[in-house]
Amino acid sequence: MTARSTLTVLSALMFAGSQAQQGEPTGVDTSRVNTSGKKPWYTSFTIRGYGQVRYNRLLETNEKFTCEQCDRSIGEGGGLFIRRARVIIQGQVHPRIFIYLQPDLASSSGTTQNLAQMRDWYMDIGLDGRNEFRVRLGQSKVPFSFENLQSSQNRLPLDRADPTDSAHANERDIGAFLYWAPARIRERFRSLVSDGLKGSGDYGVVGIGVYNGQTANRAEANDDLHVVARATWPFEIAGQIVEPFISGYTGTYVVTSDQRSAGVKGRTDWSYEDSRLLGGFCLYPRPFGILAEYNIGRGPEFDPVTDSISTKDLAGGFATATYRFNIGKHLFFPFVRYQVYEGGKKHERDARSYSVNDVEFGVEWQPFRNFELLCEYYIGDRRYEDLAEQDNKQRGQFLRLQAQFNF
């Protein structure tokens, strides 16, 4: 390929990415790059993405207060932190085949930061002419919690809530999922994102599937697949859009050797029941909005009395209230969230036992579509225990700042 043709391809991709709506493919004006009448292959793809830079240490009252799953720069040793660096390549490469690839260039491993790691890599295969029925194969989000399905590019609180995010680390796994939604509802899912209403994206009105169950980027550890099902329906009433939903999953989770401390006790095969049922609803911010979810279930959890991992009940939920308004061309989203959770986190050390009672409030400011600044004050009250850290109850407050750019 010549230097000129290479530049033409890159220009077309950059133009396509700048025109893409969040979460949806779009085309480009091919008349600028080709006049032969044949559609160039590269016009089937778009490139977009976003990045987030955070600081969590302002007005901090307790540097021992940490949160491994949400943001590892919280607490002692934390500084300026690149939370996400996402580049998304997507395309309708065939009328019935859609592909989606999303790496994250800001993953962490121990003290090493900004490593590249795959988040999504899947294809959607349409089963009918309108793609109302489609099968998704690959690594993608598990259709369980609304907030987990919602992109971090759109979510208001800086981290996902513990009660639901504890179900699936990084919200993803390798699986096969069948989705169905009428064309008009698929268009509504798209508009709830593209119109800035903090939608979850298009995961169907009904979704069912199977997946490994050990969470994203981890090998399967047994011969049992997890099964998940979800149903939802967004409808409009009196100028508002409401979306109720219900979901559940079941399977067997293995607490692998790299997730256990030496000396912790447990089952011979380290296999545990892993099941949840969730219900909730979203009232989209037109201008007032609320998102509420609650789940119950059973899963592995550390027991400090016996120094062992056993299957225990879990329960918890959250509610986030927000308001959407403009001042000139500037868009603002003030919000407040309250969450509670009692249970284990299967993917953390020794299936760490948690008790969470947290409040956070803040505001997101969008002076234009490509930039957002969010300020959030966090008030946390947590007990989180494993074999090494017992009687570990921490309370803390701190002010958090995040700058996000979108392209």
pLDDT tens digit sequence for 186-224: 999 999 999 999 999 999 999 999 999 999 999 999 999
Average pLDDT, the chain: 91
Q: Which DSSP symbol is given to 21?
A: P
Q: Do the Cβ atoms of 265 and 307 come closer than 8 Å?
A: yes
Counts of helices then strands in the chain (DSSP H, E):
4, 18
Q: Is the pLDDT of residue 289 over 60?
A: yes
Q: Is the pLDDT of residue 4 over 50?
A: no
Q: Is the pLDDT of residue 343 over 50?
A: yes
Residue 227 backbone dihedrals phi, psi, to 5 degrees: -120, 135
Which residue, 174, 248, 249, 178, is CA-closest to 214?
174
Residue 108: the pLDDT is 82
For 394-404, letters b (16+ CB in 10 Å) and e give bebbbebbbeb
Which residues, including other chains, have CB under 8 Å from residue 50's CB and lie 6 or more apart? 84, 86, 153, 404, 405, 406, 407
Q: Is the pLDDT of residue 11 over 60?
A: no
Beta strands in 142-270 (DSSP E): 172-180, 206-211, 226-232, 235-237, 240-254
The average pLDDT across 224-250 equals 97
Residue 57 pLDDT grade (very low, low, confident, very high; cuts 50, 70, 90): very high
Q: Is the pLDDT of residue 175 over 60?
A: yes
Residue 228, SS3 per DSSP: strand
Q: Is 307 exposed, middle or buried (0-12, 13-18, 19+ CB in 10 A)?
A: middle
Residue 111: the pLDDT is 78
pTM comes to 0.89
Query: How far, in Å, CA of 336 to CA of 376, rounded?
Result: 9
Which residue, 303, 306, 377, is CA-closest to 344?
303
CA distances from 68 to 33, 45, 114, 359, 395 (A): 48, 35, 16, 18, 15
Residue 113: the pLDDT is 86
Residue 38 pLDDT grade (very low, low, confident, very high; cuts 50, 70, 90): low
